[in-house]
Amino acid sequence: MSVKLKHERIDVALGKQEADLVIKNGNIINVFTKEILQGDIAIYKDLIVGIGNYAGKREIDATGKFICPGLIDSHLHIESSMVTPVEFAKAILPHGTTTIIADPHEIANVSGINGIMFMLNSTKELPLNAYVMIPSCVPATPFENNGAHLNPEFMEPLKTFDRILGLGEVMDYNAILEGDETMLKKIDLFDYSIIDGHSPALTGKALNAYRTSGISTDHECSTVEEALERLRLGMYVQIREGSAAKNLETLVTGLMQKGVSFDRCVFCTDDKHLEDIRRDGHISYNIKKAIALGLDPIEAVCMATRNAAQCYKLKRLGAVAPGYSADLIILNDLKTFDISKVYYRGRLVADPKLTADIPNIVEDKNVFNTVRVTDLTLEDLAIKLDDEATTVIRVLPHELITKKEKARVGVENGLFSADENYSKLAVIERHKALNNIGKGIVCGFNIRNGAIASTVAHDSHNLIVIGDNDEDMLLAIKEIKRVNGGYTVVSGRQVVDTLELPIAGLMSDQPAEYVEGKLKVMLDKAYALGVNKDIDPFITLSFLALPVIPEIRVTDLGLFDVKEFKFISQ
């Protein structure tokens, strides 16, 4: 930054020179004092330089309207939207999100450094602030096979990139508690940066040890007790409201009842479908829901702006004040958070529909052609059982956590026989054609006369398939292999529909409208197969392979008990 530019800003702030843009007579939400103050906002180039009474080359009358900072999503995975960063930006900007803090561990688990570079390159020209956290757990645990390994020596050069803020969510908390040297080296690399957490159900001395290592956030709180314990230890609690995991009502209501300060609470979406963003909003939805639950509107705005900026040490973001980036939202009404206009660095980007011209990014061949699966047979999908009483995975409505249960299931000729109550699940290694297949039995998914398969299977993103008959499951596997990644629904030995995701088997190279429309149709077709209406069939399926969320999962190496952190027999 030049001294000349500083002089110009000072002159505009003093009123000696006209501002480029002045937003006049607005009700300005001050996130520092939690007041609403009436006045003008003077913008010079990309920065707010003054609050008060100003004249500008261009002026906008905001009489009767409210003005707040652009919103910050403190933790998300762009890959979960199944579109490129360009298409994702187009979807969230009209909802007021001008800053994202992305953890690209999904694509990193498939394509390693190439995947991270794809995300960095694809976000650098977007009309929003796109920061990146370096994935800490690639693979998430040593209990699965993925496409790449990120060791400390590969991570260190990435620290020099401007938009990298720190270390992404540390999911392998057992590695920390056991003093794993490699994990501690990763944490040490980012000792003076932000280190994100992921510690569902961790408590007491174990949580103390986790916090002591340097971890400062957690987005996995599902109870107010978990949130309180982390707040008391000085952590930031990222209150999540995504498509599958919806923790906002429980946490906001519980913390309000206990009279706890929200100053160390921020909002995030983690994983949210395009359709949900388009229909409900993005971080704006978190604000609306919190207000509807009785939270003070200014407090909700602070959680989505100032608190997140302070947590991630974003010096010029999160406030409407001199010296802050002109990332602003003009609201028709604060209580309903009805958005009129969105500005990024002083430039109108949504009115409220998208107005920004966002160029497409050149495709990176390094993240294509990533599905490598050997030819399978029906026998490969069989689950041998000695007894009808066996271990099953119970999925829970609107939750990512599962329950480990014993149940009596159908058995024919010593093999598990699926029905509408108990589905068969298989996870097939798809990165190196190792021919590994882990299998399990799921209760509560309720699919009948069909199968669903996907290469979106957190976090190693192997090929995952669920169904009530082996023929449809095998066809679903073949279809996913044919299109080089994606989602498919199969029924009656026929492919019902497929959403191709050729970028690392995670993202489409098509416009968001195509992906959103296709996914909506496929959701309807999945539910037509009897899938439980209280779960999202695709998101729920994608998390059944993640061995860091309690209580029980399946990886390509077998049935895994997360609480005991070991493989178990069926």
Same domain for 51 and 110, yes or no, is no
Region for residue 408 given its phi and psi (left: phi exceeds 0; alpha: psi -120 to 50; beta: otherwise): beta
Q: Supply the range of the domain harboring residue 59.
A: 3-64
Same domain for 410 and 504, yes or no, is yes
pLDDT of residue 362: 59
CA torsion angle 366 114 546 201 (round to 10): -160
Instruction: Please check whether residue 76 lies inside any domain of the structure.
Output: yes
Same domain for 50 and 85, yes or no, is no
Residue 124 sits in a domain whose CATH number is 3.20.20.140
Same domain for 142 and 198, yes or no, is yes
Same domain for 118 and 177, yes or no, is yes
Sign of the CA dihedral running 309, 315, 319, 325: negative
Last residue of a domain, one of 30, 47, 64: 64
pLDDT of residue 1: 63
Same domain for 58 and 87, yes or no, is no
Instruction: Please check whether residue 352 lies inside any domain of the structure.
Output: no
pLDDT of residue 364: 80
Instruction: Please check whether residue 354 lies inside any domain of the structure.
Output: no
Last residue of a domain, one of 282, 297, 316: 316
CA dist 141 and 566 (Å) reads 11
AA identity, residue 385:
L
Last residue of a domain, one of 64, 87, 116: 64
Q: What is the CA 536 to chain-centroid distance, rounded?
A: 15
CA dist 285 and 238 (Å) reads 15
Instruction: Please check whether residue 179 lies inside any domain of the structure.
Output: yes
C-alpha distances (whole Å) from 207 to each of 153, 171, 203, 253, 496 are: 28, 13, 5, 24, 46
Helix (H) or strand (E) holding 361: none
pLDDT of residue 140: 80
Same domain for 283 and 142, yes or no, is yes
Same domain for 284 and 400, yes or no, is no
Number of domains in the chain: 3
Same domain for 134 and 58, yes or no, is no
Q: Residue 149 in contact with residue 112, Cβ under 8 Å? A: yes
Rounded-to-5 percentages of helix, strand, coil across the chain: 30, 30, 40
C-alpha distances (whole Å) from 569 to each of 234, 352, 439 are: 40, 54, 10
CA dist 567 and 64 (Å) reads 61
Instruction: Please check whether residue 334 lies inside any domain of the structure.
Output: no
Residue 552, burial from CB neighbour count under 10 angstroms (0-12, 13-18, 19+): buried
- Tokens standing for 490? 């199969």
Instruction: Please check whether residue 359 lies inside any domain of the structure.
Output: no
C-alpha distances (whole Å) from 172 to each of 135, 218, 225, 264, 546 are: 12, 13, 22, 24, 11
pLDDT of residue 539: 87
Same domain for 213 and 291, yes or no, is yes
Residue 388 DSSP symbol = S
Instruction: Please check whether residue 339 lies inside any domain of the structure.
Output: no
Same domain for 463 and 541, yes or no, is yes
Q: Which residues of 36-52 are buried (b: 16+ CB within 10 A; e: fewer)?
A: beebbbbbbbebbbbbe
Residue 48 sits in a domain whose CATH number is 2.30.40.10
Instruction: Please check whether residue 350 lies inside any domain of the structure.
Output: no
Per-residue pLDDT of the chain (570 residues; tens, 9 = 90+): 689 999 999 999 999 999 999 999 999 999 999 999 999 999 999 999 999 999 999 999 999 999 999 999 999 999 989 999 999 999 999 999 999 999 999 999 999 999 999 999 999 999 999 999 999 999 888 899 999 999 999 999 999 899 999 999 998 888 999 999 999 999 999 999 999 999 988 999 999 999 999 999 999 999 999 999 999 999 999 999 998 789 999 999 999 999 999 999 999 999 898 889 999 999 999 999 999 999 999 999 999 999 999 999 999 999 999 999 999 999 999 999 999 999 999 999 999 999 998 987 756 888 999 999 999 999 999 999 988 899 999 999 988 889 999 999 999 999 999 999 999 999 999 999 999 999 999 999 999 999 999 999 998 999 999 999 999 999 999 999 999 999 999 999 999 999 999 999 999 999 999 999 999 999 999 999 999 999 989 989 999 999 988 999 999 999 999 989 899 988
Same domain for 45 and 172, yes or no, is no
Q: Residue 145 in contact with residue 133, Cβ under 8 Å? A: no
